């Protein structure tokens, strides 16, 4: 009996470690977003059965600009979860001399907000694959809540989706390879768009678009993601995300996901009076 109990105890300990790592990963995600009068913000996260590495955030950079990112870390398991903790620390939006998002300068306002392409370039120089054994895909965006100007940079991630107030939807193309593989850095340029009142900007991981139908190789796909969110433009942003998730669950014939699912975005309500 003792020989039987030992492997069981080891399995129970391993399961407990995975549960702890999953909870640690979820704790990195914002429980509430900052209150910004002219933004409707929403997000949804569903962890897979395996510990993975999706993280996202939306935060104030200063009184008029917000930062937004969605990240998918390679691999699964405890190491991916631990790496997501480290990455979350590096993406702090506090002013720091060795920070990625905001750095101190000598003149007022005594900080500089790095543009998205610079942030991704700096992150790529840290040799993530060599140090931690992981690479990642991401989109990082900076949005000016006063004038509607948004700049973003994409590194191997799903294209950002813009749903306009009139119902038209489009993916914002451009970008380069994932961070950590040291490939195609020169193609990771910042791109911009001027959002109008009522426009939505949405980021999501491939846990949604790569969901597979049962007994098939058919994937849900980017076109379906766009179509569902477009159809529900008149609903609240949060409800549109819920409709999308239910559509994917129906498509794959299961409520469980094989990969982490994360989606985050905002609707701009127009300039503040």
Residue in 160, 145, 152 with CA at minimum distance from that of residue 66: 145
Greatest extent of the chain over all pairs of C-alpha atoms, in Å: 73
Q: Determine whether 212 is exposed, middle or buried from the number of CB atoms within 10 Å of its CB (0-12, 13-18, 19+).
A: middle
Q: Which of 161, 182, 3, 189 minimizes the C-alpha distance to 68?
A: 161
pLDDT at 185: 62
**pTM for the full model?**
0.91
- If we measure between CA atoms, which residue out of 83, 183, 81 comes closest to residue 132? 83
CATH level 3 topology of 2-268: Phosphatase 2c; domain 1 (3.60.40)
Per-residue pLDDT of the chain (273 residues; tens, 9 = 90+): 455 565 555 445 445 656 666 666 666 788 899 999 999 999 999 887 666 678 999 999 999 999 999 999 987 777 777 888 889 889 999 999 999 999 999 999 999 999 999 999 999 988 888 888 899 999 999 999 999 999 999 999 999 999 999 999 999 998 889 999 877 666 688 899 999 999 999 999 999 999 999 988 899 999 999 999 999 999 999 999 999 999 999 999 999 888 889 999 999 999 976
Q: Which residue has the tokens 């100007």?
A: 149
Calpha distance 188→175 (Å, rounded): 5
Query: How far is it, in rounded angstroms, from Cα 50 to Cα 15?
Result: 10
In 3-state terms, what secondary structure has residue 59?
strand
Question: What pLDDT shows up at residue 189?
Answer: 86
Token duo for residue 20? 């702890």
Return the pLDDT at 258: 84
pLDDT at 184: 63
**Residue owning tokens 């007994």:** 215
Q: Compute the CA torsion angle 232, 233, 237, 243 (nearest 10 deg).
A: 10
Q: How far apart are CA 119 and CA 101, in angstroms?
A: 6
- DSSP class of residue 107? S
Nearest Cα neighbor of 195 from 30, 77, 40, 10 is 40
Report which DSSP code applies to 173.
-
């Amino acid at each position: 009996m003792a020989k039987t109990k030992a492997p069981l105890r080891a399995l129970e300990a391993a399961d407990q470690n995975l549960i702890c790592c999953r909870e640690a990963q979820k704790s990195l995600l914002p429980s509430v977003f900052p209150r910004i009068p002219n933004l409707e913000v929403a997000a949804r996260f569903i962890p897979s059965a395996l510990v993975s590495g999706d993280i996202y955030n939306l935060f104030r950079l200063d009184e008029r600009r917000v930062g937004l990112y969605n990240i998918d870390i390679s691999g699964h398991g405890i190491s991916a979860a631990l790496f997501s903790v480290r990455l979350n620390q590096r993406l702090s939006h506090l002013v720091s001399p060795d920070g990625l998002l905001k750095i101190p300068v000598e003149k007022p306002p005594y900080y500089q907000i790095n543009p998205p392409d610079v942030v991704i370039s700096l992150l790529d120089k840290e040799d993530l694959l060599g140090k931690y054994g992981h690479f990642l895909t991401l989109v990082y965006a900076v949005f000016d809540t006063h004038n509607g100007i948004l700049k973003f940079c994409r590194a191997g991630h799903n294209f950002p989706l813009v749903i306009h107030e009139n119902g038209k939807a489009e993916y914002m193309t451009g970008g380069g390879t994932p961070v950590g593989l040291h490939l195609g850095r020169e193609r990771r340029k910042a791109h911009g768009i001027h959002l109008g009142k009522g426009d939505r900007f949405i980021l999501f991981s491939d846990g949604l678009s790569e969901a597979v139908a049962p007994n098939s190789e058919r994937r849900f796909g980017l076109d379906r993601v766009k179509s569902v969110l477009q159809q529900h433009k008149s609903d609240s942003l949060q409800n549109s995300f819920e409709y999308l998730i239910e559509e994917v669950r129906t498509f794959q014939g299961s409520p469980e996901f094989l990969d982490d699912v994360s989606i985050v975005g905002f609707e701009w309500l127009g300039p503040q009076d």
